[in-house]
Chains A and B, each alone.
Chain A
Amino acid sequence: MELDARFFRREAGRLTAALTRLFGVHNLALAEDVTQDALCRALEVWKFRGPPPNPSAWLMATAKNRALDVLRRERTARTFAPELGRWVETEWTLRSTVDALFAAEAIQDDQLRMMLSCCHPRLPEEAQIAVVLQVLCGFSVKEIASAFLETPAAVEKRVTRAKKALAGSKTLFDLADAGELAARLPVVHRALYLLFNEGYHGASPESAVRVELCQEALRLVALLLDHPSAQTPATRALAALMCLHAARMPSRLDDAGDLTPFFEQDRSRWDQTLIADGWRLLDASAAGTEVTAYHLEAAIAGVHACAPSARETDWGAVVRLYDALLALRPSPVVALHRAIALGQQQGPEHGLAAIAAISGRERLEQYPFYAAALAEMELARGERARARARFREALALARNPTERRSLERRLAACDPPS
C-alpha cells in the first residue's frame, strides 16, 4: 500500500498529542521520545514488506504499548498527568484509561488542547508557530528553519523556549473552560493565519515546502471547526480565507515553479472544490455581530474566486472591502492592495495617486511588491521607462529566485513587442 507522503509527520503530531495528555505536559519530552520510538519501529519493520493494512492503528498500538511500559516502570519515580491522577496509578484502570485516551475522538481533542496550549499569548508569535509545527505537525527544527529561511539555531532557541513555557504551565489547555477558550482563540487564529501566509507568500524558494505549510494551516483550522466551542464565526471566516486562497495555488506557479502574476493566472486551474468550501464557510461565518479582518479578507478572496477574469472582477466591491479592512486594521500593505484595486477600477492614475497618499508609505520601501505595483501602473499608462526603473528596484529587493524570475519576466514585458 502507498502511504501519503505526510503520513509519518502527521502521525507523529497525533501520537505526541495523545501521549502528552497521558504523561502530562511537563513530560512533553518523554512523549516525544515515545513517538520517535514508535516511528523508528515502524520504519524498521515496514521497510521489509511494506506497511500493514492499517498503518495508523499499528503505530497507535505500538505507542500505546510503549506508553504502558513507561507508566508501569516510572509510576513511582515520576508524576504523570495530574488530571488523570489515580487512573494511571493502579493496574486496575491503567489499560482502559490508556485505551480511552487513544480513541480517535480523544486524539482529535488532544491535538486541539495541544494547539491551544502552544499558542500561549505570552510567547512571541514566531515561537508559537515553530512549536506548533514541531509538536503537532511533526516537522524537525531543521525543516522549520529551511522553510522560514532561518538558522536551525534560531529556531531551536524559539522551540526550546516555547516548550519550557509549555512544561511550566503544568496542565494542558482546558477545553471545557469556555471563557478561557474564547480568550485564547484570537491568538490561535493569528498564529494559523501567519502560518498560512508564510506558506502562501513565504520566503522559501521551494514551492513544495510552502504548499505543505498551507496544508498544515488548513488541517489545524479544521480541528477548530470540528469543535463545538471553537467553531466561532471568526474561525469559519479564517477557514474560508484559507480555502479561497489555497484554491488559487495550482495556478500561482507555472510548470517551471515560477510565480505567475495574479492577472495572468489560468483561472480554469483554480480548485473549484476549495472555492465551494470557502464560500460555504464564508456564508456560515456571517453570524453574530463581530466582523473580523478574516471576514473581510475572505470576502475579498471570494470576489476574486468567482470572477471569470481579472478584467471582469467587481473591483468596486474589492475597494469597498479594503476600505473596511483599513478602518479595522490600518496598515500600509493593506493600503497598497486597496490602491491596486482602485487602479483596476478607475485607471492607473488613480492607483498611483492612492499609493502616493498611503500613510507610512516609507515602510513599504523594502517590500518588492511595492515597487512592482508602481511598475505595473506605470506600464498600464504607457510609461515604459518608469515601469522598467521600478521593476529594477523590485528586482533588487526580491527575496528568492522565484520572485526574481517572475519580476525579470515582467521587466522584459516592458519592451514593446518587435
Chain B
Amino acid sequence: MSQFVFLYRGGMPADTSPAEMQQQMQRWMTWLKELGEKGFVKDPGQPLERGGKLVSGKQKMVTDGPYAEKDLVSGYTLVEAKDLAHAAELSLGCPIFTYGGAVEVRPVAKM
C-alpha cells in the first residue's frame, strides 16, 4: 500500500440552506467513515481556514491569499491505496462533487 493525499478544492455555494449543509456534512462523515472502516484512511485530515498569506519571491513578498474560490484548498485527507488509479477510485464517492468541488489526488513521494 502507498500513501496519497486528497486535496479538496472548492466549497459550498453561499446560498446553501442550513438543512442542506447538515445533509452535506452527514455525507462527508459517512464517506470518510466507510473509507476508514475499509482501512484506506491513514488520517482523516484537517480543514483549512479560508484566509491566509502567500509568501513568495526572493523578496519574500507577503500578500493576502488566496485565490479564486474554486481553486481554494479547503482541507486534506491522507489515504492508503494500492496505486494512483485505486486512490483516484476511492475519491469518487466524495460528496464534494455534488456541489461542484474537486479532489486532487497526489501520491506521497516515497523516501
Contact = CB atoms under 8 A, between A and B. Distances in A.
B17 A139 contact: yes
A44 interface: yes
B32 A48 contact: yes
Interface in B6-57: 11-12, 14-22, 24-25, 28-29, 32, 44-47
B18 A47 contact: no
A9 B18 contact: yes
A142 B45 CA distance: 34
Interface residues of B, number: 23
Contact of B47 (A6, A11, A39, A47): A47
Interface string A20-54: 00000000000000001001101111111110000
A130 B51 CA distance: 35
A7 interface: yes
Contact of B22 (A3, A49, A50, A142): A3
A25 B32 CA distance: 41
A48 B17 contact: no
Contacts of A46: 25, 29
B93 to A, nearest CB: 14
B91 interface: no
Contacts of B24: 43, 47
Interface string A84-109: 00000000000000000000000000
A138 B47 contact: no
B47 A44 contact: yes
Contacts of A50: 29
B25 A12 contact: no
A139 B15 CA distance: 12
A256 interface: no
B17 A47 contact: no
A308 B44 CA distance: 55
B56 to A, nearest CB: 26
A39 B17 CA distance: 10
A36 B20 CA distance: 12
Contact of B17 (A3, A11, A42, A138): A138
Interface residues of A, number: 25
B107 interface: no
B90 to A, nearest CB: 16
A8 B47 contact: no
Contacts of A283: none
A40 B25 contact: no
A207 to B, nearest CB: 17
Nearest to A12: B18
Contact of B28 (A47, A139, A143): A47
A48 B77 CA distance: 9
A40 B18 contact: no
Contacts of B32: 47-48
Interface string B70-84: 000011010000000
A244 to B, nearest CB: 28
Contact of B18 (A45, A49, A138): A138
Interface in A42-90: 42-50
A176 interface: no
**The 8 A-B residue pairs with the shortest CB-CB distance in the complex, in nearest-first order:** A140-B17, A47-B28, A8-B22, A8-B18, A12-B18, A138-B18, A9-B18, A44-B47
Interface of B: 11-12, 14-22, 24-25, 28-29, 32, 44-47, 74-75, 77
16 contacts: A3-B22, A7-B22, A9-B18, A40-B16, A42-B21, A43-B22, A44-B11, A44-B74, A47-B32, A47-B47, A48-B28, A48-B75, A48-B77, A49-B44, A138-B17, A140-B18
